[in-house]
Chains A and B, each alone.
Chain A
C-alpha cells in the first residue's frame, strides 16, 4: 500500500522532469535572432595581471552561420578581418585578410582546441555543440545567483573530436540561459570556468558579457558585447572575401 501511495505522488514529477538530452535540446532550440550586429571588446589578462585589449565589429546572419569580423583596435591590428562560414556537411570555411601583406588567407578549422586570437576561447568554445555528438546527463538541480538551475553534464563523443573530457553547465530554468559552465580537459582536470550574462533585447535573451578563466594557466578573457542591433537587414553578399578588405562605416 505504501509503495502505491509513493508511486502516485512521484508519478507527475517523473512525467515533467526533463532528461539531460531534453535540456540540451531546449538550450539548442532557444529563440535567437537571425541577424546580429555588435561591437566586441575582448580583454585578455595573464597570470601576472598584464592585459591586451582588442575591439572588433561583428556582423552575422543565419543565426551566426555566417559571420564577418573587422579588428578596430589595437592600432596594430586595425584592418585585419575574419570571415567564417559554417557548413553542416563539411569543415567550416574561415578566411583572414592581412592588410600588411595584402593577402586573404584560409584558416584551417581542423584544430578545434586552438585558441581564438590568443584568448581563452577556442574555436570549439565559439561553435555550437551538435546534439548527436555528445552524451547528456542531468545532475541534481542547483541554485546560482538566486536562480534555480538545471545542472547538465555533457560528455563529448569521440566523433566530436573535442579537446574536453566533459562540461558541467548551469542553465536557468526560467530563461533557459546558460549561466555558467565548467569544462574539463582530457586529463579530467578543471580547465575553464565560464560565466555568461544576458540582456533582453527585442524579447531575445542576448549575450552581453562572457568571462572565461583558464584555471590551469591562470589566464582570463572577458568579452563584452555592445551596440547590439538585432535582425537588422544584412545582405548575404556582405559575407564574401572582398568585403574583408574594408572596414564598414557602421
Chain B
C-alpha cells in the first residue's frame, strides 16, 4: 500500500529513514549510543560540598587559601573504645600506637594526630621542652597517669584527643592533597577495622562522609534504576498490553540513559570541570530521564496503535503516527531541554552539569523516538487483531469521563483548579531551607550515626575557620585572636576552639616555671618571639603549620561545633562577622569560612537557584511555545498548568515541612521540564483539530485524543516513585513530590488548560483560522 508523502521535507526525511532504511537506522543508532556511552568509564562520583560552590564565592576563596596555607582540612576522625569504660589502659594505648604506625605507612595518608603522635610541652630546668606525649608503645600505669595528668592540665588538647567522658581515643587523619577522598576513606577504614578489632569503632569527619558517599551513590543508582524500570514496565504492560511494545519503549529509555551517563563521563574527562562530577543530587538523573524518555516512546506507541485501528497497515500507521508526532515530540523535547538548561544559570556547580547532561539524554531520547523506534516498529510483524490494537485501555476509558466533565462544567473545573493553586500558594511562605548533610540521612544509617557520635562524644561535625592576616607575633593581635575565640566559644553548640594564641599561652606558662598565673599572652613582642625560638630548638617545624603560616603573617582560628539549625547558622555567622568588624578593623584582612559559613552560603545559593530556575524556564517555555505556535497567547496558556503545578508542589513542601536544599532545588526544573510536554501535546492537537472540528466538540476531541497518552505518560512516570527507595532523604522527597507533580501537571493540563481553552474556544479558534 502506498503512503502519502509528508508536506514537510524534514518530517519526510525522518519517516523515510524509519521506513525505507530501517536496519541501517537501527545499526547507526546503536553504534552512536555505544560511542557516547563509552564515556561511562570516565564518570567520577564525588559529593564534596566545596566543589559545588562557585569559585568566586568569598567563603570558597578563603577555604582554598586555608587549604593551601594550613594544609587540608578534609580529615577523618577515628574514635575507638568502649561505652562506659575508661580508655586509658596499656592495651588501648599500645593499639593506638599500632594504629598510628599502620596509618603512617599508607601512601594515601599525610598526617596522623593522636596521643601516640602528639607532643607535650614541659618545663624542665626552666627550659621549655617538647617531647612525645606517648613515649613508647608499651606503657606502665605510671606513664599513663603522666599522660592523663598532662591532658587534664591542657583541656583544649584533651578535647581534640579524647572523647568527652574519656571512653574513646580520637585519631585525626589527614590525606595528601592529590588523593581522592573515597580512596582516602577506604584506606583509613581498612586499616582502622584491621588494627582495632574488638573495639567499638566510629569514623567521622567531612572526608569520611564525602568519601563514603560515592559507594552509597553507586548502590542507590542500582536500586533506583531497577525499581524505576520495574514500576514503569508494570504500568506500561498494564496499559499497552503488548510485551514487544513495552520492550521498544524500554529500548529508547536504555539508549538515552547510556548516552546521558556516557556524555557526563566524556564531559568530565574532556573539561575536568567539577560541574560534571556525579554527586548525591545527580542520583535522581537516571530516574528523571527514564520517565522523560518513556514519555516520548509512549506517545509514539499509543499513537501507532490508534493509527493501526484505522489504517490496518504497519507502514502507513507508522507514517501517519510520525507525521502527527514528529513536531510535538521535537517541541516537547526542546522545551524540556530549555527547562533543564535553565539550571546552567545556577550558581551551584553540579546543577550546571546536571542540566547539560540530562539535556543530552533528552535529545537522545528524541532522536531514538523519532528514528530508531519507528524503524523497529516498522520491522515488527504486528498482530492486527491483538487486544492492544483493537481494545481501548483502562486509561482511555477514564479520559472520556474527564472530557465530559470539563465540557459540561468548564467554569467549575477551572475554579477548582484555581482554588487548589491558592491552597498551594498559602504554603509557599512556610518553606524552610536546610542544606545540612545530617538531615540527608535517617537515624540508624551509618553516616547519620557517625555524625551523631561526633556530636555527642567528640568535638562535633561542623567547623568555622577564621583566617587572620597580620603580624602573628604581635601580642595585641594574639590577644584579639584570643578574645574572638572566647566570643565564638560562648555559642551554645561550639565544643572547642583553638589557635596559635592557645599555644603561646601554654608556652608562656611552661617557661614561667609552669605557673598557671602566666597562662596569658605576654605583653612584649620579644617574649612571644623568644617562645617560638625556644620551641624551635626541640619541637618539629611543622607542629604549628595548621595554626600559623610559615612567615607568621597569617593565623587560623578553628572552632568545632555540633549540628546547628539553618536559622542559627545565619545568626552565628552574622554575629561572628560583626564582632570581627568591630574588633579587627585596625588589622589586615580577616576572612571567615568553614562548613558553617558554607552552609549559610548554600542556603542563599539554593534559594537564588530555585527562583532563577523557575522564572527563566517559565519565560523561556512561554516564548518558545509562543514562537512555535505563532501566537503569544499559546505561550501564556502553555505555562498556566506548569505555574499551577510549581506553586502546588512548593506549597505542598511548605505545608508538609519538606525542606528545600540543593537536591530538592532541582524540582522546579523537573516539574516544568516534564510537565510542559503535556501542555505542548494538548495545544498542538487543539490547533490541529481546530481546522476540521466544530468548536463545541473541539475540547472534547482534544482531551479524547491527547488525554490518554498524557494520563498514560503521567501514569508510567510513577516510575518517579522509585526515588522513594533512595538512601538519601531529599531524593526520597523528590520521588514523592514528583509523583504529586505528575498528577498536578497532567491534571493541570486536562483541567486548568482544558477548561481555559474551553472557555476561550471561540476566541482561540477564530484566530487560528
Contacts and interface: CB of A to CB of B under 8 A. Distances in A.
A105 B105 contact: no
Q: Which of B104, B128, B550 has the most CB of A within 10 A?
A: B550
B383 to A, nearest CB: 74
B542 interface: yes
Contacts of A204: none
A76 B529 contact: yes
A116 B527 CA distance: 20
Nearest to A221: B541
Contact of B127 (A46, A100, A106, A111): A106
A66 B542 CA distance: 29
A100 B537 contact: no
Contact of A108 (B522, B538, B541, B542): B538
Interface string B51-95: 000000000000000001100000000000000000000000000
Contacts of B551: 50, 52
B185 interface: no
A119 B549 CA distance: 16
A96 interface: yes
Given A101-B527, A187-B105, A96 B538 contact: no
A118 to B, nearest CB: 4
Interface string A141-172: 00000000000000000000000000000000
B131 A111 contact: yes
Nearest to B131: A111
A206 interface: no
Contacts of A99: 526, 530
A105 B526 contact: no
Contact of B538 (A50, A114, A187, A217): A114
Contacts of B527: 100-101
A215 interface: no
Contacts of A249: none
Nearest to A214: B541
A107 interface: yes
B529 A105 contact: no
Interface string B126-137: 111111000000
Contacts of A116: 537
Contact of B533 (A80, A106, A114, A187): A80
A105 B512 CA distance: 11
A105 B534 contact: yes
Contacts of A115: 536, 540-541
Interface string A100-125: 11010111100100111111000000
B456 interface: no
A77 B536 CA distance: 12
Nearest to B127: A105
Contacts of B131: 111
B524 interface: yes
A163 to B, nearest CB: 12
A219 interface: yes
A166 to B, nearest CB: 18
A105 B473 CA distance: 21
A21 interface: no
A188 to B, nearest CB: 11
B34 to A, nearest CB: 45
A76 B473 contact: yes
Nearest to A117: B536
A105 B126 contact: yes
B178 interface: no
A114 B537 contact: yes
Interface in A10-50: 44, 46, 48, 50
A185 to B, nearest CB: 11
B511 interface: yes
Contacts of A76: 473, 525-526, 529
Given A46-B550, A105-B128, A100 B540 contact: no
B191 interface: no
B530 A107 contact: no
A19 to B, nearest CB: 34
Interface string B92-134: 0000000000001100000000000000000011111111000
Given A103-B126, A115-B536, A187-B105, A217 B529 contact: no
B536 A118 contact: yes
B541 A219 contact: yes
A117 to B, nearest CB: 5
B539 interface: yes
A233 to B, nearest CB: 30
A220 B524 CA distance: 31
Given A114-B537, A114-B539, A217-B542, A96 B127 contact: yes
Interface string A122-148: 000000000000000000000000000
A50 B550 contact: yes
A190 interface: no
Nearest to B528: A100
Given A48-B68, A48-B550, A77 B529 contact: yes
A107 B533 contact: no
A238 interface: no
B196 to A, nearest CB: 21
Interface in B531-566: 533-534, 536-542, 549-551
13 contacts: A46-B550, A48-B550, A50-B550, A50-B551, A71-B533, A105-B511, A106-B125, A108-B127, A114-B537, A114-B538, A116-B537, A119-B541, A219-B541
Interface of A: 44, 46, 48, 50, 52, 71, 76-77, 80, 82, 96, 98-101, 103, 105-108, 111, 114-119, 187, 217, 219
Q: What are the 9 tightest A-B residue pairs by CB atom distance, in nearest-first order? A: A105-B127, A100-B526, A118-B541, A100-B527, A76-B529, A50-B550, A100-B530, A118-B536, A98-B530
Given A76-B526, A77-B529, A116-B537, 20 more contacts: A48-B68, A52-B550, A76-B525, A77-B533, A96-B127, A96-B537, A98-B533, A99-B526, A99-B530, A100-B522, A101-B530, A105-B125, A105-B127, A106-B124, A107-B127, A107-B538, A108-B124, A117-B536, A118-B536, A187-B104
